[in-house]
Each structure stands twice: as C-alpha cells, then as structure tokens.
C-alpha cells in the first residue's frame, strides 16, 4: 500500500495531531490496564474530571440516551467503580461518583504519563511556558469552536 500524503501544515500542528493519536492509543492501553472497555473508560474519565455529575449529564457528555447511560452506570456500579449518592445540593437528585478504590487504580495508571508530560517542561523558561500555554489555549478554543459547529450542523 502506498503512503497517503498528509496535508501541508506547520511542524507544531503536525505534532499536536501526533499527540492526539498517541492519546487515543494511551486511552486504549489504560482502559485495558484497568480492565475497562473503551466506553467504560471514557465514562470514568468524565466522572473523575468532574466534581459531581448526574446520570443525565453523563449521558449528554457521552452522546448517549439516558437509558444507555443508566445501563452503563449500573455496570460500573456492579464492578465497584462508581456509587450513586444523593446530590449534596439537591437531595432529590442522584450523582454518580467514582469509588476511592477506582480513583486509586486510575491514578496509579495515569500518573506516570501525567508526570512524564509535566517533566517535559523541565528546563523550559517561565516565559516560554507562558507562550506554550497561550498556544494551547488557542488550540483548545479552536477545538471547542469546531465541535460547536459540528453540533449545530447535526441539529
């Protein structure tokens, strides 16, 4: 098979694309290391990155129906990864939270990568770190704008 030429972009843009590809691969490997499917891992990533989240919000973030999210939460709960708790603000509502054991397992798998990425900044001046931070903020904004446009087109 012949190699498909990539569109011409600046080297930094190509590196961002490579980071995204490696992130996808790392997510797969981390899910496997934790004994989770990719879908379950994705749900746990959202739950670990939020203060509190109800099943409805999880469904919205994962682009699935409420019924599918309920099945997913039931499965994660039966595996001991999450618990349903009354919302501390609205006791009529339930929130889904990762268990302490699930958090410990996930951080044990995630921290080596997080530490290595953080260490990549060793020796980079504070001024240069601000430049990198500003660039990455613009990349995040570009993704958010792009995704909003796709969401509007889908409606």
**Residue 104 and residue 51 share a domain:** yes
pLDDT per residue over 68-86, tens digit each? 999 999 999 999 999 999 9
**Residue 151 and residue 89 share a domain:** no
Task: Residue 153: give the domain boundaries.
Answer: 122-155
Measured CA distances, 84 to 9, 35, 78, 109, 140 (Å): 46, 21, 11, 24, 31
Q: Where are the alpha helices (DSSP H) in 34-125?
A: 38-48, 55-62, 66-78, 100-119
Residues in the chain: 155
**Residue 22 and residue 93 share a domain:** yes
**Residue 114 and residue 126 share a domain:** no
Residue 38 pLDDT > 80:
yes
**Residue 70 and residue 137 share a domain:** no
CB 43 within 8 A of CB 62: yes
Tokens of 86: 């009354």
Residue 6 is given by DSSP the state P
**Percentage with pLDDT > 90 across the chain:** 85
pLDDT per residue over 89-142, tens digit each? 888 899 999 999 999 999 999 999 999 999 999 999 999 999 999 999 999 999
* 3 state DSSP class of 136: helix
pLDDT band at 1 (very low <50, low <70, confident <90, very high): low
Query: Is 133 inside a domain boundary?
Result: yes
Query: Is 4 inside a domain boundary?
Result: no
Report field, pTM of the whole predicted structure over 0.95: no
């Amino acid at each position: 098979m012949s190699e498909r030429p990539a569109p011409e972009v600046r080297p930094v843009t190509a590196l961002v694309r490579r980071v995204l590809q490696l992130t996808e691969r790392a997510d797969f490997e981390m899910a496997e290391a934790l004994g989770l499917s990719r879908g379950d891992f994705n749900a746990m990533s959202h739950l670990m990155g939020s203060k509190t989240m109800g099943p409805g919000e999880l469904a919205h973030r994962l682009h699935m129906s409420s019924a599918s999210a309920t099945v997913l939460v039931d499965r994660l709960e039966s595996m001991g990864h999450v618990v349903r708790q009354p919302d501390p603000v609205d006791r009529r509502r339930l929130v889904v939270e990762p268990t302490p054991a699930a958090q410990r397992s996930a951080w044990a798998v995630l921290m080596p990568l997080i530490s290595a990425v953080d260490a990549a900044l060793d020796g980079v001046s504070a001024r240069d770190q601000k430049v990198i931070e500003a660039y990455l903020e613009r990349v995040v904004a570009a993704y958010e704008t792009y995704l909003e446009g796709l969401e509007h087109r889908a409606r």
